[in-house]
Structure 1
Amino acid sequence: MFEKLKHRYIACLSIIFVIFSLMAIRLYRLVAAGEQSSSQSSRQASVSVTGKRGAIYDANNVLLAYDQESYEVTFYRDPANNASSDRANYTKILLEAIEIIEGNGDSIIDTFLIVKDEEGNFAYDISEELSEETRKERISSWCANMQLADDTMEPEDIYYDLRSRFRIPEELDYEQARKLLSIWQEVQMNMYQSYVKVTIAENVSLETVYELETHADALTGIEIAESYTRYYPKQDIAAHVIGYLGRIVDNTELEEKKALGYTAEDLVGKVGIEATMESYLSGCINERQGKRTYSLNKAGSIVKQTGYEAPTQGDSVVLTLDIGLQEVTEEALAANVQRIRSEQEQEYAENKDKYDKLLEARSVKELSLANVGAAIVMEVDTGNVLALASYPSYDLNLFTGGISDEDYRTLLDQEGSPLFNNAISSTSTPGSIFKMATAVAGLMEGEITVNSTIVDTGPYDKYVKEGSDAPACWIKPYYSSHGRQNVVAALKNSCNYFFFEVADRLGIERLTNWVGKLGLTSKTNIQLTGEAVGWIGGPSILYDSSLPIDQQKTYKPLLVYNKLKTQLEEFGRERDVIYTEDQLSTAALELIKLVELQKLSIGPEIREVLSNTLDIPANVSRQRGWTSEIMSTLIELIWTNTDTATQGIGATPTQLTPIAIARYLCAISNGGKVYDANIIDKVVDANGNVVMESEPSLVEDLQLPKAYSKAIMEGMEQVVSWENRGTAGSAFAGFKYQNILAGKTGTAPISNIDLEDNVWFCLVAPKDDPEIAVVIFVPNGLSDCKVYDTAKAIITYYFDQKGEQADISCGEGDLFY
């Protein structure tokens, strides 16, 4: 019996074995067929992964800007699900995600191109500054991406059409619908890469992350991704140096950046170091990008991730800036400007009738009071910038992730224009801080020696007719107190007359040449955006025939042009003739061109222009005195010897930038070496390797004789000396570092109201072996004595720090030995 059972058992096992063998063969064939089918229907796609942006450090390795890890919310619309019902479902999911995100205080992207104003009108959110052609191109491209057949549709019609297409519930208002349309717009913009997830919220909180993950099963397509957010730990300190990031909005720039590896969604440096060092800092360029590879099915849907290559981060930039000194400089400057403003308002209130009469007599009725300022600290022997402050400032973190329209409008409307860099972008009349340049030019050209003397005899009326106003020294009417001056005394006393005479001896061409050599009228090449270039007054500055009348260096040509048109119109009335606007404009421009003759007697030429353009007979112009009237207007644009003399004291129309003044002050102090301004110390890669290191860039070596440098420095030393009764001597009496200082004051009148005077102050220290040059500038700052507190704060911090470092060094030495 057992033998039978044994045989049956063996037979059953054999049958089972055969069945399983057949099943295995079948399974193998099915798998092989499936794999073959899969290989035929799937494809690979890769998505670039951006590297971390490099950091920005000060000279002492204090972090000023860096990428901190954050979370963003992404949305993936499966391209296989494109039916109307699918879009409705996705919109429902997005609404739920938006509710969670905003419920935790986070924000949804706001990029939809169509906006609705307060009156209910729809329009494209495209800058009006762009040309009509560019605007049309952008609209056409956007409509194509949004799959709109007719790009001539009204924005309102497009808005409602898209609401319908993406199944946005009718009960949602515009603001709610706009958020959904912003997300759908981003999806449409990536139609050609349907496997790319779009970011719908950036830098979200952990609460948002947790809640979205908790509801992940219900929120198909919504995912959390790790990302980076730019952070500026010092907030508004050094904002004008560091800069911020923003989207690429210019089509030409976008195409250039795409060739390097950027996408339209990437952030780039817009201003400051973030902009100028973009190629080093960025993690978006091709060679630093990583890659994430996906397997896609026939419909283009992601099946799975099949590969990942990590990106490399951008290089970090180390600045020459000392953030401690920067903070002291900014705080002192801000307090200084605010104090000046308060004193000006008090002065105006106490003398209101006096100032109101002066305001009433001029075309500009509003009083300009102090509300901005700049301060720069530069190394004398390198051009390295240790501090560069512009007041007012702004919090760079406002721009992180994109600044809101409300915040941006607030910045634009704020008094003092905080986004403007006063240290490098403003130009203004320098006043007496220019006098060292005149001294250098006079000495180097042999028009004076260090022992030459000039007597201050009062008004400089050498070229002025009797009875007419002549430029004079600020000490008017006590000219005898200056008397005979050499270059040292002239700098100490800031004697205008001395420098009038030196400039006159030089002539405007030679003075202009030396001003250029000292680096005042060219770019300093500091590695920041928006540097302006100054100029010294001269015939071509007063009127440049190569420029349109409304693009001249100064406002005078336009004023003269308008005044001439008014005069000519009145001439027509007297003759019962009505001239057209074109006739008046043509005649005025032709008259202004006569300025190029640089003559004070151009009567025949004036009458010829009036005859040719307005058909006014020459004898009529002469008899009615119209020639003289025109000449009295044109003389405003004719350069005179007196104008040349006044340039010797930095008077209008000379305009210079604070950063150029800092470079010039360094050259005065170091024997004539003119350096480019520099704010970059080095660039290091992620491994700490130095990939770029800055060296001092010598532009020109003027090789000033030691005797000349000594005389100029001695004059500047006496400016801040109480014993020598310098113009700033009393302010620095008792100051602990007074004995190592050399400086120059500068008050530049820009109107007939003294409250509006520009204020400059320059310092060099130590005077015997200069290390730093300090420049402080407050437009409409009342008086140079008002900015001494900022100068003292800078000097105190710098030399106190040096003292502490010396003490530390000595301590370390004692321990070592």
Structure 2
Amino acid sequence: MQKLYKTSRIAIVSVFVFLLIGVYLATLYKMQIYDAPKTQEAWSSFSAYTQSVTVPAARGDILDRNGVLLVSSRPQYNITISRERLLKREDKNDIVLNLIKLAMEHGVAYTDTFPMTTGAPFSYLLDMTDTQRDRLSAYFEYFDLDPDISASDFFVWLREHYGIDYKTSIPDARLIIGVRYEMEIRAIKNLPAYVFAEDVDVNFVSVVKEHSFPCVNVETTSRRVYHTDYAAHILGYIGQMDAEEYKVYKEKGYAYNALIGKAGVERAFEDYLHGQDGKMLVTMDDDGTILSERVTEPAVPGQNVFLTIDIALQEVCENSLAAKIDLINAERTEEDRVTGGAVVVTQVKTGKVLAAASYPTFDLATLQRFYNDLAENPSKPLLNRAFMGIYNPGSTFKMVTALAGLRSGAITEGTTVNDTGIFTEYADRGFSPVCWIYPLTGGGHGKVNVVSAIRESCNYFFYWLGDKLGIDRIAQTAADFGLGSKTGIELPESAGILATPEYKKEKLGISWYAADNIITAIGQGYNLFTPLQLANYAATIANGGTVYSTTILDAIRSADYSSVVYEQTPSALRQIDGADYLPLIQRGMRQVSESGTAKSVFGDYPIPVASKTGTVQVGGSSAELNNGVFVCYAPADDPEIAIALVVEKGTSGATIMHIARDILDFYFTEETTAAVAADNTILP
């Protein structure tokens, strides 16, 4: 009985096994023979693409001389649409509309600069920017459309062009057109690919991923973060490359959509800040949905740039300059308002720039949004007047004429000239320039020598000396000081203009006359110099005659701050010929502050200051509209810093020299110079 039971059990198991084998064989037959065409069709409809993409390197930080963080980077999430894959889909417009509505639902701004109103009746935007107008014209030309087509007719054409069915409402159609136009115009003009939404938060990233939109991806890039509202002209900004720039940077391994420094420090030190981009293999399906990512070459972050700028001092310079200009403008008509100004502060024994302010300025954080408005502003806020603005030096030039006279032997310390108020040497030719004091007193300064002439800013003395010297000696001395040539700063700077007979003949077609020697000697005429050149000129007088190359770079440190990659050292260009005579000029400048034209501001100053005021006649009958120029250095007995100020329509150097006092107050106050914003300090 037991044996029979055992046999039955074996038989049942055997039958069960045979049944399983039969089911397996039947299924295999069905898959390989019956369903093979369907399976093959299904697999052929699915394909994956693997491509190598660039992984942008983290951009390096920018810091001031004390280690205060000025510019850094943070991750940024962008929502992108693959136009190439979107165009292959039947539901392309549904994808676009659903993405737009999702963004609107979550309060996320997306990019739509199509210059047409958002509702019917449609019209073109009245405040269209130059960029919008240029792109619209390119679109019309590309599709051979009448440039005078009405907005309503253009809307109808676009609706048909983009295949938007008439079941879609007019407002929704306008939404779709806005995005489709953005994508297409970038392709037409060979611009970087369209980004639907920039810098979205992680919550919206999650929402987009949950919806699994075909052809829509999240791109991770980096965004510059500005930790200061100051030094915009110095720091500069980054942006996308144009075609010409890409030709250059392509050779350095940059991707076509890489961001580069476009101005300021960001541009000057691009090679340090950019780092080395990495590579990643990305696998995507037909819809552009990312299936997998694998880093093949890790990105190497950029290095960190330390500037010579003291951001706290920079803040004082910008605020004081703006406050003084506001004070002047409060009493001016719109037509007579101050249009601009600049301040430069340098170390006299190194050439390092500690501060450089330009007015008006702009906000780096909102630059992209308002760039066109800034570019079209007649006050030119994007112009770095500190390095690029060129101005007559006015009476601040008199030290050049003085040294030219001393080193040539035309005058000595004991040479005196009797200022009668009117220089009559060329009266028979109709040229009789007066000393500035003559309209006030009806006379002159009396007998003056080179020191007292500087102190009193005596025009008559320098008329006489300029006539005696001639332009060649004056121009050579100015050139020796570095006036009329670039100073060596790493940022863009103007060379300015050094007045010579050759320049006047070439540019104006006019001969050089004796009167030109005379007006050049007092800083009028054709000489045009930058505030940076004037500061370096004052520094050269202060340090005893050494002309330094100016710099804004203090050091480069590795990405992790652990090592110094490069450290800037002072670069002396030359020693001024006749430097032995500089003590006389220094004495005159010190007397300007103690008892001369700067006495009202510096006469009782606790630290000795050497200075020179300047007034530049820029046309018009009102003396109030003259440019104000001022240079100084301090302490006069052991100089540390030099300052140059220029205010367009600032009346005179005496009017604006309070700005220099604000700067010196800050610099020589121990509490402020020792204080560093701890929260932003990277290094001790």
Task: Give the structure-2-normalised TM-score.
Answer: 0.84
Q: List aligned pairs for 1:325-724, cutoff 5 A.
A: 325-344=313-332, 367-399=335-367, 402-403=368-369, 407-412=370-375, 414=377, 416-465=379-428, 468-476=430-438, 478=441, 482-529=445-492, 531-544=493-506, 552=507, 557=508, 637-688=510-561, 689-702=563-576, 704-706=578-580, 708-721=581-594
Aligned residues of 2:236 and 2:266 also touching (Cα < 8 A):
yes
Aligned residues of 2:113 and 2:132 also touching (Cα < 8 A):
no
Aligned residues of 1:746 and 1:760 also touching (Cα < 8 A):
yes
> Secondary structure of 1:419's match?
coil
**Distance apart, 1:258 and its partner CA:** 3.0
What residue in structure 2 maps to residue 602 of structure 1? none
Classify 1:174/1:518 alpha carbon distance in 2 versus 1 (closer, same or farther; 3 Å): farther
Classify 1:677/1:21 alpha carbon distance in 2 versus 1 (closer, same or farther; 3 Å): farther
Aligned residues of 1:375 and 1:776 also touching (Cα < 8 A):
yes
1:208 aligns with 2:204: yes
> Which runs of 5 or more residues in structure 1 are unaligned?
346-365, 545-551, 558-594, 596-636, 807-817
What residue in structure 2 maps to residue 252 of structure 1? 244
Which residue of 606, 609, 620 maps to 1:741? 609
Aligned residues of 2:345 and 2:355 also touching (Cα < 8 A):
yes
Classify 1:163/1:690 alpha carbon distance in 2 versus 1 (closer, same or farther; 3 Å): farther
Query: What amino acid is aligned across from residue 519 of structure 1 in structure 2?
Result: G
**Distance apart, 1:290 and its partner CA:** 2.1
Q: State the alpha-carbon separation in 2 of the partners of residues 653 and 185 from structure 1.
A: 51
Query: What amino acid is aligned across from residue 108 of structure 1 in structure 2?
Result: Y
> Which runs of 5 or more residues in structure 2 are unaligned?
676-684
What residue in structure 2 maps to residue 321 of structure 1? 309
Query: What amino acid is aligned across from residue 281 of structure 1 in structure 2?
Result: L
**Distance apart, 1:72 and its partner CA:** 1.9
> Secondary structure of 2:427's match?
coil
Query: What amino acid is aligned across from residue 107 of structure 1 in structure 2?
Result: A
Cα deviation code 1:489-517 (max 9, x no counterpart):
11111111221222222211221111111
> Secondary structure of 2:489's match?
coil
After TM superposition, the structure 1 stretch with the greater mean CA deviation from structure 2, 638-647 or 12-21, is 12-21
Aligned residues of 2:82 and 2:216 also touching (Cα < 8 A):
yes
Classify 1:395/1:703 alpha carbon distance in 2 versus 1 (closer, same or farther; 3 Å): same
**Distance apart, 1:692 and its partner CA:** 2.7
Cα deviation code 1:725-749 (max 9, x no counterpart):
2111122233333xx2111111112
Aligned residues of 1:682 and 1:692 also touching (Cα < 8 A):
yes
Q: State the alpha-carbon separation in 1 of the partners of residues 433 and 472 from structure 2.
A: 21
Which residue of 670, 673, 676 maps to 1:801? 670
> Secondary structure of 1:203's match?
strand
Classify 1:175/1:311 alpha carbon distance in 2 versus 1 (closer, same or farther; 3 Å): farther
**Distance apart, 1:95 and its partner CA:** 1.9
Query: What amino acid is aligned across from residue 416 of structure 2 in structure 1?
Result: T
Cα deviation code 1:129-185 (max 9, x no counterpart):
99xxxx99x95xx89xxxx9x754556699766543433446138863453224543
Query: What amino acid is aligned across from residue 419 of structure 2 in structure 1?
Result: D
Which residue of 103, 108, 111 maps to 1:106? 108
Q: State the alpha-carbon separation in 2 of the partners of residues 371 and 198 from structure 1.
A: 38
Q: List aligned pairs for 1:120-199, cutoff 5 A.
A: 120=124, 152-154=144-146, 163-168=159-164, 169=168, 171-172=170-171, 176-182=175-181, 184-185=183-184, 199=195
Aligned residues of 1:51 and 1:313 also touching (Cα < 8 A):
yes
After TM superposition, the structure 1 stretch with the greater mean CA deviation from structure 2, 769-778 or 198-207, is 198-207
Query: What amino acid is aligned across from residue 6 of structure 1 in structure 2?
Result: K
Aligned residues of 2:70 and 2:226 also touching (Cα < 8 A):
yes
> Secondary structure of 1:465's match?
helix
The alignment-based identity, stated in percent, is 32
1:61 aligns with 2:67: yes
After TM superposition, the structure 1 stretch with the greater mean CA deviation from structure 2, 795-804 or 43-52, is 795-804
**Distance apart, 1:382 and its partner CA:** 1.0
Q: List aligned pairs for 1:160-309, cutoff 5 A.
A: 163-168=159-164, 169=168, 171-172=170-171, 176-182=175-181, 184-185=183-184, 199-206=195-202, 208-209=204-205, 211-213=207-209, 216-217=211-212, 219-235=213-229, 237-249=230-242, 251-283=243-275, 288-295=276-283, 304-309=291-296
**Distance apart, 1:473 and its partner CA:** 1.2
> Secondary structure of 1:455's match?
strand
Aligned residues of 2:504 and 2:511 also touching (Cα < 8 A):
yes
Aligned residues of 1:427 and 1:656 also touching (Cα < 8 A):
yes
What residue in structure 2 maps to residue 576 of structure 1? none
What residue in structure 2 maps to residue 789 of structure 1? 658
Classify 1:176/1:515 alpha carbon distance in 2 versus 1 (closer, same or farther; 3 Å): same
1:728 aligns with 2:598: yes
**Distance apart, 1:342 and its partner CA:** 2.4
Q: State the alpha-carbon separation in 1 of the partners of residues 673 and 480 from structure 2.
A: 38
What residue in structure 1 maps to residue 641 of structure 2? 772
Residue-pair matches, total: 653
Classify 1:92/1:3 alpha carbon distance in 2 versus 1 (closer, same or farther; 3 Å): same
> Secondary structure of 2:251's match?
helix
Q: State the alpha-carbon separation in 2 of the partners of residues 787 and 730 from structure 1.
A: 12
Task: Give the structure-1-normalised TM-score.
Answer: 0.71
> Secondary structure of 2:421's match?
coil
Which structure: greater helix fraction? Answer: 1
Q: State the alpha-carbon separation in 2 of the partners of residues 691 and 221 from structure 1.
A: 43
**Distance apart, 1:221 and its partner CA:** 3.8
> Secondary structure of 1:527's match?
coil
Aligned residues of 2:215 and 2:288 also touching (Cα < 8 A):
no
